[in-house]
Structure 1
Amino acid sequence: MQRWRQKKTPFPLFALLFCAFIVASIFYTESNREIQIQVESQASVTDVTSHALFTASLPTNFSNHFPKRLYSDKLDWSKACSSSRNYSIHDGWISSKGKPDLESGSPTRCDVFSGRWIIDNASHPLYNEGDCPYMSDQLACRKHGRPDSMYQKWRWQPHDCNLKRWNAIEMLEKLRGKRLMFVGDSLDRGQWISMVCLLQSAIGNGSKSMSPNARLTIFRAEEYNASVEFYWAPLLVESNSDDPVNHRMADRIIRPDSVLKHASEWEKADILIFNTYLWWRQGNIKLLWSSDEDGVCEELDGLGAMKFAMEAWADWVDSNVNPLEKKVFFVTMSPTHLWSREWQPGSDGNCFDEKTPINMDGYWGSGSDGPTMRMVESVLGRLESKVSILNITQLSEYRKDGHPSIYRKFWETLSPQQLSNPVSYSDCIHWCLPGVPDVWNELLFHFL
C-alpha cells in the first residue's frame, strides 16, 4: 500500500498567509491569551485500492481547514459555538454494506479473535474482586449484590489455537522500565482497572502505589520501575468533555483537528492502548475548528465527527510513532446489550438477569455499529505496522451476561418508578470485574 505523502505548500502562498497573519495580529490582540501557531501540512490520498481495509474515501474537502490551525492552551468552552451551521459534505462517504473484517495483526495465522466462551472453574476468575483494592464501585458487581458468580468463570477459547495464558510476573517483566497507558473513556478505564487488578496481587504491598484520581491516573510497580496509567480522553481530540468528572454536557463540542494537548501526555508512554466509540453515538457533535475565532461551529452527526477525530489521531500516530520504540494498540468497539429481542425474539428486556453468554456463532447485535467499524478500518488501514488491532467486538458480543446491570453503584438517586422496573436502569454498557475486560488484557498480553 502506498503511504500518504505530504504536500509542500507553495512558497508564495505561504508568504501571503504569513503576511495576512501579521496584519491580523496587529489589529486583533488579547493581553490575557497566549496563542501558539501550529502549521501542519495536509496529506493527500494516493492509490489505496491495494489494501483491503480501505473501504471508504475521505470527504473531498477534509483537509481544507488544516493549513490554518491556531492552538490555544486555554479555551472557555461555555462561550464556544455561539451559533452553528450544518456540515453536509461528508454525505455518502462511508459504505454501509457488509460486515467489518478488521485484521488482527496476529503474529501467527491463528485468529485469536474467533472462538467461543467455555467454563473454566480451574483458572478463572484470574483474581478475586474483593482482593483488588483498586476496584471501581461501577464494576464491582458482587459487592453490589449480584447473586451469581458464573460470569467470572468463562474463558475465551479461539477455534484453532490457544490464547497465551495470563502470567502476571511475565507481564510485569514485559513492562519493566516502561509506561503502559490506556487512553479513552470509562470503558477504557475499565480495561485499565482490570489490568491493575491482574497485576497488583503479584506485587508486594510496599512496592505499589496509585496516584490521586485525575485526568491521568497512574499505578506504579516500583520494583519493576513500571507504570500502568489511564488518561481520560473520550473523544481522542480536544473537547468540552475532557474533564474526568464534569463531562456531561448538553452539547458535545470537539476541536476535530486538535490532538496536541492530549498527545503531550501520550508521547511519554512506551505502550499505548486507545479506544473511542460510545461517546460518538449520543447525537450530533459540534465542530470548533482551531482556526475559527468567531464562535461559529459546524454541526455533524457522530459518525462523521468521529471520522475527523480518528484522522487527526492517525496523523499524530503516523508522524510520531516509531514501531521499534513505541507500541500502539487500538481496541475496537465494546458492544452493548440493550435489547434482548435481538438474541431472544419476542422478549422485551435487556441485559438484566442474564446469566449465560449468547450461544449463536457470529452473533452481531445493534450495539455494534457496522458503518463505524468500517470507518475505523479505513483509518487504521493507512497506518500499516504502526498500530495493532485488538478486535474485542465479536467475542464481547456473546457476553450479554457480563454487564453490571443493576449491580453497581449509581451516583444518581433512582426514582421509585425505576426501582420497580430494573430493566429501566440496568447498565448494559460497562462490564463486571472480574470478567470480559480481563480477556481484552489477555489478548494484549498475547501480542506484547
Structure 2
Amino acid sequence: MKPQHGAAGGGHGRRTPFLTSYALTLAFITFVSVLYFKDFSSTLHQPFLHHPPPRHRPRPRPHVPMGGGKAGPVVAEKKVSGSRSAAAVSLPFAVGRAAAGCDVARGEWVYDEVARPLYQEEECPYIQPQLTCKAHGRPDTAYRHWRWQPRGCSLPSFNATLMLEMLRGKRMLFVGDSLNRGQYVSLVCLLHRAIPESSKSMETFDSLTVFRAKDYNATIEFYWAPFLAESNSDDAVVHRVTDRIVRGTAIEKHAKFWKGADVVVFNTYLWWMTGQKMKILQNSFEDKNKDIKEMETEDAYGMVLNAVAKWVENNMDPKSSRAFFVTMSPTHTQSKDWGDKSDGNCYNQTTPIKDLSYWGPGTSKGLMRVIGEVFSASKVPVGVVNITQLSEYRKDAHTQDSRTPGTSCSTRSSSSLERRKNLGFEN
C-alpha cells in the first residue's frame, strides 16, 4: 500500500505545519539523543521549563565525529523525586558521550549556507504535500539554512550509515500526532538516499506507517495516536472533530502496536489545547450511553502520561531498548507576541526570533511541568527531548501557501525546522 496522507485534524484554530528543514532538525536531535547523548531526563529537575538563555553567541566546543575514537559506555544519571534514589542507567545504542554541561535545548539558530540544508524537499518522495514550501510558492530559501547551535557544545554531523547500522535488526517507532509524523518523515528523508531503491519500501496500514530498510532488516514506523490514549480522533485520515473525547487511561488499543519496538518516541500536545476542560470517557465508545466526566487539561494530560510511563516500565527493557518523549511545538499566531507592531502572524516571516528569552503565549508551561513530573519519576528512563524553546524562535518555519495570506501558524514544514521542524500536517 502507498502511504496515506491524512486530512489535517481540527483544533483550536487551524495549525500550519512546521517546515521540512525545521522538522529535519527535530529528527536530527532525536537521532543524536538515541545515538550519542545522555538521557535527557537527567535534566528534568533543573528549571527545564524555561532557562533564561544566554544573550551572547555560544562558543561551540571542538566537534567530535560520531562513532569516532573509543568512547566508553554512556551512563545517564537518572534523577528522581520522592523516596527513590538516583540510579545509573546504561543506555543501549549510544556510541559516544555528550560533552560535559551540554544542553541541546539551549542555544540559538545560526545561518549556515555550507552545511544546510541536509536535503531538498523535492529530493524526498515521502514528504506530504502539506509540508512542501517550494511547491506552494514560497519565494525565499533562507529558512532552509538555519542550523541549531547548542550552548557549550556542537551537534555531531549526521551520518546516515551509522544510524542505519544502529537500527540493523531493530524497530524504531514514533507514536503521537503530526509533530512525530513530521519527525518520522524527516528521519526517513535523511536516511533513504543511503539505501538502494530496491531495498526500501513504505506501506501504510490504517494508523501504522512502516518504512523498511530491507538490507538492514530494520523498520522506522509511525503510529497515529494524537492523545496516546484511545480517543474519538484516532482515525489516521478522518480525525477533524470539535468535540474531543479521550477514554481515560485506555492505551491498550494502541499499545498492542508498540510492543516489540526497540526505540519508541512519544509525543502528544496540540490536541489537548481546546481552551476547555477535557472530556474523559469512563466506559467504552461502543456503549450507547456514554459516561463522560470533565477534567482540567493538566490533570487529564498527567493521567495519560502516567499510563504511558507505566506501559514503558512494564514493556521495555532499559538494557536493550530506549523510550523518549518529545515536548510541544509552539504556534506563532500574532506577530505582536514577538515585538512586531504589524497586525500579522507567521505569514511571510523569513528570519527566526532573535530574543533568546522569548516564550510565546501559546505554549503551556503547566503541561511542560506535568511532563517533567511524570517522566522524572519513571522507574525506566524516558528521555525527554525538549524541543520547545528552540522551536519558539522559528516564526519563519511554518508551512504556508505563499499565494494565500490567510495562513495558519501551528504546523511546520519539513525542510527547515524538522526539516522544517519536522512537524507536518495540521494537528
With the shorter chain as reference, the TM-score category is: 0.7 to 0.9
Q: Is the 8 A contact 2:400 2:408 kept in 1?
A: yes
Counterpart residue number, 2:108: 116
1:286 correspondence with 2:279: yes
Counterpart residue number, 1:314: 309
Q: Of 401, 407, 417, which residue of structure 2 is paired with 1:426?
A: 407
Q: Is the 8 A contact 1:180 1:271 kept in 2?
A: yes
Output the CA distance in 2 between the equivalents of 1:53 and 1:194.
27
- Shift in Å at residue 337 of structure 1? 0.8
Counterpart residue number, 2:21: none
User: Which amino acid in the other structure matches residue 154 of structure 1?
Assistant: W
- 1:29-40 matches, within 5 Å, as none
Deviations 1:336-373, CA, capped at 9 Å, x for gaps: 11111011243321100100001111211112211110
Deviations 1:278-325, CA, capped at 9 Å, x for gaps: 000023321112489652210124333212211211221222221112
Q: SS in structure 1 opposite 2:212? A: strand
Counterpart residue number, 1:405: 400
Q: Of 418, 423, 426, which residue of structure 2 is paired with 1:437?
A: 418
Q: Of 242, 248, 264, which residue of structure 2 is paired with 1:250?
A: 242
Output the CA distance in 2 between the equivalents of 1:152 and 1:173.
28
Greater fraction of residues in helix:
1
Output the CA distance in 2 between the equivalents of 1:248 and 1:323.
36
Q: Of 361, 368, 375, which residue of structure 2 is paired with 1:373?
A: 368
- Shift in Å at residue 329 of structure 1? 0.7
Counterpart residue number, 1:150: 142
Deviations 1:64-121, CA, capped at 9 Å, x for gaps: xxxxxxxxxxxxxxxxxxxxxxxxxxxxxxxxx99456x9988443112211111111
Counterpart residue number, 1:334: 329
Q: Say which one has the larger Rg.
A: 1
Q: Is the 8 A contact 1:342 1:365 kept in 2?
A: yes
Output the CA distance in 2 between the equivalents of 1:290 and 1:361.
46
Counterpart residue number, 2:354: 359
Output the CA distance in 1 between the equivalents of 2:145 and 2:43.
37
Relative to structure 1, is the Cα distance of residues 309 and 385 closer, same or farther in structure 2, using a 3 angstrom cutoff? closer
- 1:164-179 matches, within 5 Å, as 164-179=156-171
Relative to structure 1, is the Cα distance of residues 393 and 52 closer, same or farther in structure 2, using a 3 angstrom cutoff? closer
TM-score by length of 2: 0.73
User: Which amino acid in the other structure matches residue 170 of structure 1?
Assistant: L
Mind listing any 5+ residue stretches in structure 2 that lack a counterpart? 1-41, 52-75, 79-96, 423-427
Output the CA distance in 2 between the equivalents of 1:180 and 1:53.
24
- Shift in Å at residue 405 of structure 1? 2.5
Output the CA distance in 2 between the equivalents of 1:358 and 1:54.
27
Output the CA distance in 2 between the equivalents of 1:213 and 1:144.
29
1:271 correspondence with 2:260: no
Q: SS in structure 2 opposite 1:304? A: helix
Counterpart residue number, 1:40: none
Counterpart residue number, 2:175: 183
User: Which amino acid in the other structure matches residue 266 of structure 2?
Assistant: F
Q: Is the 8 A contact 1:280 1:303 kept in 2?
A: no
Relative to structure 1, is the Cα distance of residues 170 and 222 closer, same or farther in structure 2, using a 3 angstrom cutoff? same
- 1:42-191 matches, within 5 Å, as 53=44, 99-100=49-50, 107-108=98-99, 109-191=101-183
Mind listing any 5+ residue stretches in structure 1 that lack a counterpart? 1-50, 56-96, 409-418, 442-448
Deviation larger for 166-175 or 432-441: 432-441
Output the CA distance in 1 between the equivalents of 2:177 and 2:105.
23
- Shift in Å at residue 128 of structure 1? 1.3
Q: Is the 8 A contact 2:180 2:267 kept in 1?
A: yes
Q: Of 199, 204, 210, which residue of structure 2 is paired with 1:207?
A: 199
Q: Is the 8 A contact 2:398 2:420 kept in 1?
A: no
Alignment RMSD (CA, Å): 2.6
Q: Of 211, 221, 244, which residue of structure 1 is paired with 2:213?
A: 221
Output the CA distance in 2 between the equivalents of 1:141 and 1:324.
41
Output the CA distance in 1 between the equivalents of 2:236 and 2:163.
28
Q: SS in structure 2 opposite 1:118? A: strand
Q: SS in structure 1 opposite 2:135? A: coil
Q: Calculate percent identity across the aligned residue pairs.
A: 46
Q: Of 234, 240, 243, which residue of structure 1 is paired with 2:232?
A: 240
Q: SS in structure 2 opposite 1:394? A: helix
TM-score by length of 1: 0.70
Output the CA distance in 2 between the equivalents of 1:158 and 1:54.
20
Counterpart residue number, 2:58: none
Q: SS in structure 1 opposite 2:412? A: coil
User: Which amino acid in the other structure matches residue 180 of structure 1?
Assistant: M
